[in-house]
Structure 1
Amino acid sequence: MGTDIHGFVEYRNTPGLPEDEDTVWDVAIDLDALYAGRSYDEFGCLFGVRNYAGFHPLAADRGLPEDLPERTRRAYEVWGDDAHGPTWISWAELAAVDWDEPAERADDRVNEYRRGPDGGWQPYAKVGTDLAGRAEGDEWQVGDRLFRVERMTRRDAVPPDGPWAPVWTVMRTLAGLHGAQNVRLTVWFDS
């Protein structure tokens, strides 16, 4: 069984309010409307879930925010015991990420490459295998397949034009209206 992500982009509407006045968080959009992927490299890099690539996660194990919008709370509670790994991250944090930062170690999986139409090696899959005696950078060929032990960067895991691009666009837009600290992504997972 695979692991899927659920959650909401949330914002706090602050324009025109005195600084000392409490503001409440509200849901901007359901994550399902923007992200339809299932990438363990993305989940590990961002939230520490299924972190086979060995990243220091950006926002792991934070739990749900105390000031959670009621809509988010109800959606989370529907999952009951199947929900795990609740966490959140602000746009301010995401905007400050060094996307060229490498993972802390080589990937637990081996990258498999196959010949593309131009004859060059093209990424094909990541495969679990026994890495005993293998080190980062090791590569070997089996028939028409090339295998390589590699270390990813955050940009490799979460490419700027990849599945998260629509999420980042919405968060960036909301941050322009409400401030980077007033926009966050609240998520949880099911397996």
Structure 2
Amino acid sequence: MGTDISGFVEYRAPQGGQEPPWHTAHDLDSFYEGRNYDAFGCLFGVRNYANFRPMAAGRGLPADASATVGARFAQLAEWCGESGLHGTTWITWAEVKTVDWDEPAEKPDSRLHQYRQTSKGLRMTGKSSWSPAFAEAVGLERGEEREWPEGSEWLIGDTLYRSVTLRRRDAVTEPGEWQPVWAAMKTLGARHGDDNVRLVVWFDD
């Protein structure tokens, strides 16, 4: 079973020194329909197999969430039960703007990257935390996990296994599936201020 993301983009309009309420601007589904675990890990610490330092993990649902967001979250929580939703958090556009997309993960990907040789050079065919062929070749027991130094390689049959450390831009590519989300937040930030725009998300399996 996979993990999916849901959420909303919110904004608030400053009003002469008073604390303004948050309003719903867009449903995340309007811009994003992917299931990229590397992005989930990099941004929010969910399915973080690539071992990033998450940008905004575990903050929970904002206490001042807009009425639409609060009602939708409560509805889904009732449908899914207490264990149904997880990873609830939020991030402002101001925070997204300060991200160093060249920052590497804190350690190599937990999954070895797999490549095949083609007429045009090596082609990545996937990545996995477990491969029977690799485990047999290096003497791993079923379910045994081990960290491999960056750049370690094994050629087993016609498959090259490599330990790789990802950068943030490898997980959240430019251009890529998250760019429509960033574009919407940027537009709202230009009008209301970068700290007054945020993305609220949660996950379900």
- C-alpha distance in 2, partners of 1:83/1:131? 27
Q: Report deviation, 1:114.
A: 2.6
Paired letter, 1:122: R
> Deviations 1:136-189 (Å, cap 9, x if unpaired)?
211122333221111111111111211101101101111111110000000000
Question: Corresponding residue for 1:8?
Answer: 8
Question: Corresponding residue for 1:47?
Answer: 44
- Aligned mate of 2:198, from 179, 184, 188: 184
SS in 2 for 1:86: strand
Q: Report deviation, 1:49.
A: 0.5
Paired letter, 2:7: G
- C-alpha distance in 2, partners of 1:133/1:26? 45
1:42-191 equivalences under 5 Å are 42-80=39-77, 81=82, 82-116=84-118, 118-129=119-130, 132=146, 134-191=148-205
Change (3 A) 1:93 1:175: same
Change (3 A) 1:182 1:96: same
SS in 2 for 1:162: coil
- Aligned mate of 1:38, from 35, 39, 42: 35
Whether the 8 Å contact between 2:8 and 2:28 is mirrored in structure 1 is: yes
TM, length-normalised to structure 2? 0.87
SS in 1 for 2:200: strand
- C-alpha distance in 2, partners of 1:88/1:154? 18
- C-alpha distance in 2, partners of 1:170/1:115? 40
Alignment length (residue pairs) = 187
Whether the 8 Å contact between 2:105 and 2:166 is mirrored in structure 1 is: yes
> Deviations 1:76-106 (Å, cap 9, x if unpaired)?
1122221111100000000000010010011
> Deviations 1:98-152 (Å, cap 9, x if unpaired)?
0100100111001112345x52112221111356373221112233322111111
Larger radius of gyration: 2
Q: Report deviation, 1:21.
A: 1.7
Whether the 8 Å contact between 2:110 and 2:147 is mirrored in structure 1 is: no
- C-alpha distance in 1, partners of 2:86/2:22? 22
TM, length-normalised to structure 1? 0.93
- 1:28 equivalent in alignment to 2:25: yes
SS in 1 for 2:88: strand
Paired letter, 1:148: R
- C-alpha distance in 1, partners of 2:117/2:25? 43
Query: Aligned residues: percent identity?
Result: 50
> How big is the alpha-carbon RMSD for the aligned residues of Structure 1 and Structure 2?
1.4
Q: Report deviation, 1:36.
A: 0.6
SS in 2 for 1:79: helix
- C-alpha distance in 1, partners of 2:158/2:41? 30
